[in-house]
Amino acid sequence: MAFTEVLQRDQAIKEIVNRSRTESQAQPWGQLYEGQESPQVTLESGITVRPADVARLVGLAYEDYRLADGHLLFFEEEDQQMVRRIVDHVLDKFRSLPDRPLSDQRLLSIVEKTLLYLKEYEIAKILVIQRSLEKIQLDEKVRLIRRNGQIVPWNTSKIEVAVRKAFLHLKLDSTPAVDVARAVEQKLADGSKAFVHIEEVQDMVQQTLMEGGLYKAAEAYILYRARRDMLRELEEARQEQIEEPSLATLRVVEENGRTTEWDGEDLRRRIEFGLLDLPEISLSSEEIERELHRSLFDGISRRDLNRTVILNAKAMMELDSGMNVFAGRILLSYIYEEVLPWSIMDGLGALRNAHREAFTESLRRGVDIGRLNPHLLNYDLGRLADAIDPSSDWAFDYLGVQTLYDRYLIVDKTGREHRRIETPQLFWMRVSMGLFIAYDNPEEQVIELYNLYRTRRFCSSTPTLFNSGTMHSQLSSCYLYWVDDSIEGIMMRGITENAFLSKWAGGLGGSWTSVRGTGAHINGTNGESQGVIPFLKLHNDQLVAVNQG
């Protein structure tokens, strides 16, 4: 059978399993062993599994197998003989087992191996699919991003089932799938990621299979992915032909002066991104799209289009509290496109690799324009790039993203158009690197601090965020000073020195109590003092004049 036909049959079987679990009336397979109490096994949960229980387990898988072949009757004499043949072999296995409880996994493995021994590969595969719908293991710390952008809880059994199907396609024992699934889950736990894309998980599965020397299974899994991708593309092409037309197409003037057609598809992708894993929003995607289209007109420039969409998203924060995070993600998508070799049309699956690619280039550009310390390039940049997790940005609300964009992300001002060279996650990593720049082999410490930053469990003061890793790594937050009662003290300490201090960020706390009050006698000029207020005005104007960035 061709691989594409195998995939189509697997999909049909999965639909049958789903339907049969809710609609069909299961046959009384347990009656085939009615009254027979041995051999039996006890599970770790305390449940006793008798021959009738095994018959029901095998019989349900056999029903779906017959349904997939188009049969509607499957309790005839020949069907009963088939199920009896399988169950008898399983019971023979029970007789040779040691007298101790079995895990659920071990029981199902015995049934599956028996099916493989009897060359009933299709029934074994159906048993695996049934298990995927029943066995759910959740880890609330890890969420999976599907290809359509939907975020769902992590389910280890899905990995195990996919790998088992690869083994069963090769007519091999699928027991190693358990270890592969556990290894993938451990890799994710070690990476401490909040979100992981399905493509990244599948890459881990391939890598784990290869590391375990399971090359034939790895090849089958790779082919399975390729064929699935092909079928998805065909389905997407078919859907595009029947989709209803959306809002009117606009002509947009690009930065190079050329005019292009804008159909709003990238805006719809941004809306999908903005709504990912958010609590229930009172507005539908279509209503949000219409709101974001406000004030757009034919012949608008690309810059004005982007700015208008962001402002419209910001205005929607008044309509629903959840739109605060939504608006932040809309702004984030434009920041990503400004900094990274990435477009919203590439999807979230490409975002992590785009950060990896841009990380080293961002540091080099910062060094070239004189903003970053060249010693940052001496780190193991590949290792640090692998630790960057862009999904940590998605919890920011609009004000948080806007503040980072306006105040903290380094800007390249050497060209005609000013451009950011950092995303929020590149910024956190650069700050972490700057703090450990004098250490030997500090990558592990850098990653630990970065993880504290990105999960928002800790944040340094503004001067540290401004200056860490730059050519002037002034990290102090506040300076205290005292002004004495003389023109030299006031003008040198109170004005001039404070100008140099405030240039590199940091607050100023001063004691001006020694300066004489209004009307006090000035011995040197024989005049009267105007008090401290005129000098504080000078000090305030100096602080305004010295721009901290």
- Range(s) of the domain holding residue 508: 478-545
- On whether residue 465 sits in a domain, the answer given is no
* Sequence-distant (≥ 6) Cβ neighbours of residue 291 within 8 angstroms: 283, 312, 315, 316, 319
- C-beta of residue 430 within 8 angstroms of C-beta of residue 468: yes
Q: Which of 105, 135, 165 is the last residue of a domain?
A: 135
Tokens 């006031």 locate to: 490
Residue at 311: amino acid letter = L
pLDDT at 182: 76
- On whether residue 434 sits in a domain, the answer given is no
Beta strand segments in 114-210, E:
138-145, 151-155, 195-197
Give tens-digit pLDDT for 309-321.
Answer: 999 999 998 888 7
pLDDT at 293: 92
**Average pLDDT of the segment spanning 371-384:** 96
pLDDT at 138: 40
Which stretch of DSSP H or E encloses residue 117?
Answer: helix 104-117
> In terms of domains, do 46 and 71 share one?
yes
**Average pLDDT of the segment spanning 118-134:** 73
**Average pLDDT of the segment spanning 326-351:** 95
Q: Which of 107, 135, 163 is the last residue of a domain?
A: 135
The SS3 assignment for 521 reads strand
> In terms of domains, do 256 and 239 share one?
no
Q: Is the dihedral of CA 254, 256, 260, 265 positive or negative?
A: negative
Beta strand segments in 186-280, E:
195-197, 250-253, 259-262
- C-beta of residue 125 within 8 angstroms of C-beta of residue 161: no
Rounded to a whole number of angstroms, the distance between the first and last alpha carbons of the chain is 66
Give tens-digit pLDDT for 138-182.
Answer: 444 567 777 666 667 777 777 777 777 777 777 777 777 777 877
Q: How far apart are CA 31 and CA 361, in angstroms?
A: 70
> In terms of domains, do 364 and 484 share one?
no
- C-beta of residue 116 within 8 angstroms of C-beta of residue 128: no
> In terms of domains, do 205 and 170 share one?
yes
Q: Which of 401, 422, 443 is the last residue of a domain?
A: 422
Number of domains in the chain: 4
- On whether residue 452 sits in a domain, the answer given is no
Which strands, in side-by-side order, build the sheet including 300-301? 259-262, 250-253, 300-301
> In terms of domains, do 502 and 355 share one?
no
pLDDT at 137: 43
> In terms of domains, do 32 and 102 share one?
yes
pTM of the model: 0.62
Share the mean pLDDT of the chain: 83
Buried b (16+ CB within 10 A) or exposed e, 27-65: bebbebbeeeeebebeeeeeeebbbbbbbbbbbbbbbbb
In this structure, the number of other CB atoms found within 10 A of the CB of residue 353 comes to: 17
CA trace torsion 313, 315, 321, 324 (10° rounding): 50
> In terms of domains, do 169 and 71 share one?
no
> In terms of domains, do 418 and 275 share one?
yes
- On whether residue 455 sits in a domain, the answer given is no
Q: How far apart are CA 532 and CA 485, in angstroms?
A: 10
Q: Which of 17-21, 220-224, 318-322, 381-385 has the lowest mean pLDDT?
A: 17-21
Q: Which two tokens stand for residue 200?
A: 């990244």
Phi–psi pair at 408, nearest 5 degrees: -115, -35
How far is the CA of 98 from the CAs of 13, 51, 87, 544, in angstroms? 35, 17, 19, 83
Q: Which two tokens stand for residue 399?
A: 């004000």
pLDDT at 121: 79
Give tens-digit pLDDT for 249-279.
Answer: 899 999 888 999 999 999 999 999 999 888 7
> In terms of domains, do 167 and 126 share one?
no
- On whether residue 441 sits in a domain, the answer given is no
**Average pLDDT of the segment spanning 526-548:** 84
> In terms of domains, do 304 and 329 share one?
yes
Give tens-digit pLDDT for 31-59.
Answer: 888 778 778 888 877 777 888 888 888 88
- On whether residue 334 sits in a domain, the answer given is yes
In this structure, the number of other CB atoms found within 10 A of the CB of residue 540 comes to: 10
Q: How far apart are CA 7 and CA 506, in angstroms?
A: 62
How far is the CA of 140 from the CAs of 43, 186, 192, 478, in angstroms? 27, 14, 12, 41
Q: How far apart are CA 364 and CA 380, in angstroms?
A: 14
- On whether residue 185 sits in a domain, the answer given is yes
pLDDT at 419: 94
> In terms of domains, do 110 and 145 share one?
no
The bridge status of strand 195-197 relative to strand 138-145 is: parallel
DSSP string computed for 51-92: HHHHHHHHHHHHHHHHHHTT-S---SHHHHHHHHHHHHHHHH
* Sequence-distant (≥ 6) Cβ neighbours of residue 296 within 8 angstroms: 250, 305, 308, 309
Give tens-digit pLDDT for 178-214.
Answer: 778 777 877 776 666 667 777 888 888 888 888 888 8
pLDDT at 358: 97
Indicate if the pLDDT at residue 409 is higher than 90: yes
Q: How far apart are CA 510 and CA 494, in angstroms?
A: 8
Indicate if the pLDDT at residue 244 is higher than 50: no
In this structure, the number of other CB atoms found within 10 A of the CB of residue 383 comes to: 12
> In terms of domains, do 24 and 78 share one?
yes
